[in-house]
Structures are given as structure tokens and as C-alpha cells.
Amino acid sequence: MAKFGLIGHPLSHSKSPFIHHFFLGKEYSLLDIQERELKSFLAEDQDLNVTIPYKEKVIPFLKNLSPEAREIGAVNTIHHRVGYNTDASGFADCLKAHGFKAKDKNVLVFGTGGASKAISYILRQEGANVQLVSRYKKENTILYDEIGKVNYQAVVNCTPLGMYPNMNESIAKYLDFSRMEWLVDIVANPLRTKLLQEAGCPSIGGLEMLVRQAAKADEIFSGKMISEEEIQACLRALCFEQRNIVFIGMAMAGKSTIAKAFDAQTVEMDEIIVEQEGLSISRLFQEKGEAYFRKKELEVAKEVSRLNHQVISTGGGVILNEEAMTYLRANGLLVWVKRDIDRMILENNRPLYASKEDLYRVYQERKERYAYYADVELDNNRSIEEAIVSLKEKLK
């Protein structure tokens, strides 16, 4: 029986079954096979995608290769025993969709693996000057610490730096964003890598490239065009399943109330800390100090950042910890809940606020950070019902 699916080894959780079913409505399998099985497995006429470590190893067992697959030397799509490379065409589609120009641009491509080869092929086809960057000295590459010596206008990250679970890693420290016109990071998990968070230029994330290369493969399998509307619908569906809604803002602004009204299964970071420590937040501040609390807050931020499709309510000071925010932003859409200080009701269990004057002072210290991290701002100077209606409208 002909197979329709992804071959590789080992295969962990993959978004490919969701994406290909979305476009073609067919069951799609993850086919974890050993290298010794390739020859017999590929003797059948079937529709397959190929991932590491087999993108080059499948080639001897195919009848033919498309021109781009032959030039790149790697295959990620097989149809009628002909090998194609839709990493290349998917990347080209990303550039086109966003209006990113490569012609006559100096582009740094980090990494030298299969994805780097496919992307470099397209960039050269588009008229770019490609400079490969590697951790180790190789022919036609420069090292990371040599980047400052070269001129560049665009960057593509083809390394796993920043990939889950190592979400605090990034090539950003090597880059001068003031030079850059655009950036592509092919890491698809998390949705927003640290590199994308820090980029000061237009950018594309890896999930979009994953979807667009899958669409190109499905066009080969089915013989039908997949529209831009279908691609955008697939991206929205994937983001909806993976994205968390993360509420930030001052204590007593109504984060928890809004969050629980939005979703009763809210994840409360402060409640997790209280449960783990066996102390209230105010007692934790008194007995172990704010520095200890912020360390615990970072641990919990890392923990909850691994969740998907959750509503998360944070403590008011989490925005003071840059590393914690990197984790929360990775798969999170951040909603800044705003409420006038005069409308806030002081509570005895708040360790930093003895008076309204304390609230004003802390707000002035933090408001720029809230604004920097917020994807959405929510006015909570009205009824909960009105705030929820407004939030749902903003999240469409």
C-alpha cells in the first residue's frame, strides 16, 4: 500500500501531519525508518517528505531529481520516485510574500547543513551575494567572530540556535541590526525565537517557511495550486494551537480577573510559586527577599513557556527579568492589562505597595517595559464583560 507521510529517524513530534491534512484532507503518517530500510522502502511509488538524516541518503534510490534538487544535492519531497527540494521553493515563496528583496544584497547565511544549501541556492538565483557563517572554519565560510569585518544587509539563520527547549540562545549578539533590511529564522519552535524578539528589522519565522515548503510539496503531490488564503489559514490554525495568551501589567490592574473570565483554566504564575514555596508572595518577599522571588519567577516562566494554547497570568514585576520575558514571549502573545491607578484598590498582601504613591512610583518605573513587551494593550477601566469583548476583537 502506497504511503503518504514523512520519513526520517528519529522522528519526534512534528507539525507535518496537521499541515498536510489541512491542505489535502488526507491522513499523513510519521514514518520512522532505519537507513537500511531506505532502498526497499523507496522502491514503491509513494508520496513522501524527507527530513534529517535522509535528505541526501535517499538520492541513490530515486529515478530522477528535479533541477533544484540536483543542484542543491538534497531532497525533501518524493513523488513518483522523483526527488524535489521544496525547502528551496518554500523559502522563495516566503521572500516573495513579504516583498523581501535579495538581488544585489549581501546576505549572511548561518549554518552549512541541508537547509542552508537550499536557501543559499535560492538567494543566488535571486542575485544575492551569499556569505556562509559557521562555528568552525570551512571552505568559503567565515567564523562568527569575523562577522564584524563584512558588509551585509540581510541574515538567514539555518542553525538550531534558539530552538525549543534552548529558547534563550540566539545569534543576535553577533549582529548589527542597524545594517539589516530583513531577517529570516527557520527555527519553527518556538513561534518567536529570541533572535526574532531582538530583531530590529522586518522578519519571518520558521513556522511560515515550514508551511510554505509543505504547500509546495502538496502542489507536487496533488497537481493543484494552494492559494495564499489557504496558506494564511493554515498559519493561523497552527498559531492558535501553539500560542499562549500571556497577561502582563501592574498588580491590581485586573490581570487574573480578566484572564479567568477569558479562560477558567488560567495558569497563575504567582500561584505556582506559592504552591512550590509553601509561602504567600508577601511572606516570601519578607523571609527570602525580592532577589530570591525573581529567581523563582524565572524558573516558573521557563516552566510555563513549555505549555501551548494556555492563558497565563503573570506577576506585575516579571517584566523586570529579561530572560523570563524571552521565555514568555517565545510562544506567547502578550496582553498589557491597563487600569488607572486611581481605580486600583490597595490590598494588604502586596509586598511593594503600602500606598497609592507606591503604585504611581512603580508604574512610572515600569511603564516603558510594559509598552516594549506588549503585543496588545487592553483598557480595563470598564466592566469585565466589556474588556473581554474588546480583547476578543483585538485577538482576531
**Tens-digit pLDDT profile for residues 74-110:** 999 999 999 999 999 999 999 999 999 999 999 999 9
- CA distances to 217, 317, 334, 371 from 275, in Å: 48, 19, 24, 30
Would you place residue 3 in the very low, low, confident or very high pLDDT band (cuts 50, 70, 90)? Answer: confident
Nearest to 108 by CA among 150, 168, 66, 138: 150
CA 339/CA 371 separation, integer angstroms:
14
Q: Would you list which residues are annotated within the binding site for substrate?
A: 270, 294, 316, 366
User: What is the pTM assigned to this prediction?
Assistant: 0.92
| Binding-site entries | 252-257, 270, 294, 316, 350, 366, 382
Phi, psi dihedral angles at 116 (to 5 degrees): -60, -40
Q: In angstroms, what CA-CA distances link 96 with 9, 92, 118, 373?
A: 32, 6, 16, 29
Which amino acid appears at position 308 of this protein?
A: N
Give the Cβ contact number of residue 6 at 10 Å.
Answer: 21
In order of 2, 10, 59, 184, the CA distances from 38 in angstroms are 15, 14, 10, 33
Grid coordinates of 231: 496558506
Please report the domains of the chain, with CATH numbers, ordered by start residue: 89-209 (3.40.50.720), 243-395 (3.40.50.300)
Q: Which of 55, 216, 302, 338 is catalytic?
A: 55
Read off the pLDDT of residues 229-272 as tens digits, 9 standing for 90 and up: 999 999 999 999 999 999 999 988 999 999 999 987 899 999 99
Cell representation of residue 353? 505597595
Tell me, yes or no, if 55 is annotated catalytic: yes
